[in-house]
Amino acid sequence: MRRAALLCLLASPAFADTLATDGPTLTTAPTEWLGPTPHLVIMGTLNGHEMNIQLTDMAATAVAEFAGKREYLPGDAGAFRYGDFEVGLKATIGGVERSIELEFENDDFASVTLPADFALGAENFPKGNAAFLEVSAEWEDASGSVNDEIGALTGTLSLLLDDGTPDDKGLRADGMIGGLVVAENAGETLVISFTVPVAEYEIDD
C-alpha cells in the first residue's frame, strides 16, 4: 500500500468504523486547499455524523469510484451555461459500501475568473460569486441506514482549479476541478478539500 492511502472514520451514536492507513494523516481540518493531486478530505460533522475522510491515493483498493461531472444549462443564442458540478465517491469503509456526493450550483461558473471565492447560500443557481452546495451521504449497515441530503449550507467555496479540453460545443468532459469548502449547517461545520478528475458532462434540457 502506498503512503497516505486512505483513512476513513465515520462515526455517530449508532456506529463507529475505522479503516487505517500506513501513511500520515491530518489531525485537524485543512485550512487551505491541499493541491492539484486528486484527493478528497472531509472533516467535521454532517447531520449528527462525525466525518473524517482522508482519501489521497486513487489506487487504494477500497475506492470503487472517485469522479467529477459537469452539468451545462441552456443559455442565450444556443450557448450553454456551466451551472453545476458534482464530486462523487463510492468506497468500502469498514466493510460497508458507502457513497458521498457533493453538488455545487451557480448560474454560470465559467463567467467567474479563477481563483475565486463563492458565498454559499440557499439560492439555487445564484449569479456572480455565490453558490449552492448539497451534500449527500448514503450507506446501510447492521445499525441501520443513512440517507442524508443536506442543502443550503452557508460558508465559502474557494474554487482554485477547473480545467479541461472544450469539445465542438465548447463543453468540457475532462480535466480537473479542485478547491476548498468551509461550510456550516445547523451549528455544524464541515471542511472539504478536493481535486477530482472529471469523467463526463451532462446537458440539462
Distance from C-alpha of 205 to C-alpha of 194, rounded to nearest angstrom: 28
Kindly report the pTM of this predicted structure. 0.87
The pLDDT tens digits for 84-137 are 999 999 988 777 888 999 999 999 999 999 999 999 999 999 999 999 999 999
- Give the per-residue pLDDT at 193: 97
- The answer to whether position 186 is within a domain reads yes
- The answer to whether position 94 is within a domain reads yes
Contacts of 204 (CB under 8 A, 6+ apart): 71, 72, 73, 74, 83, 84
- The answer to whether position 1 is within a domain reads no
The pLDDT tens digits for 3-46 are 233 333 333 333 233 332 334 588 899 999 999 999 999 999 98
Burial of 188 (0-12, 13-18, 19+ CB in 10 A): middle
Q: Is the pLDDT of residue 166 over 80?
A: yes
- The answer to whether position 36 is within a domain reads yes
Cα 131 to Cα 140, 145, 157, 158, 184: the distances in Å are 30, 29, 8, 10, 14
The SS3 call for residue 76 is helix
Buried-state track 43-54, b at ≥16 Cβ within 10 A, e below 16: bbbbbebebbbb
Residue 127: how many CB atoms within 10 A of its CB? 11
Q: Which residue range forms the structural domain that includes residue 29?
A: 6-203
Q: How many domains does the chain have?
A: 1
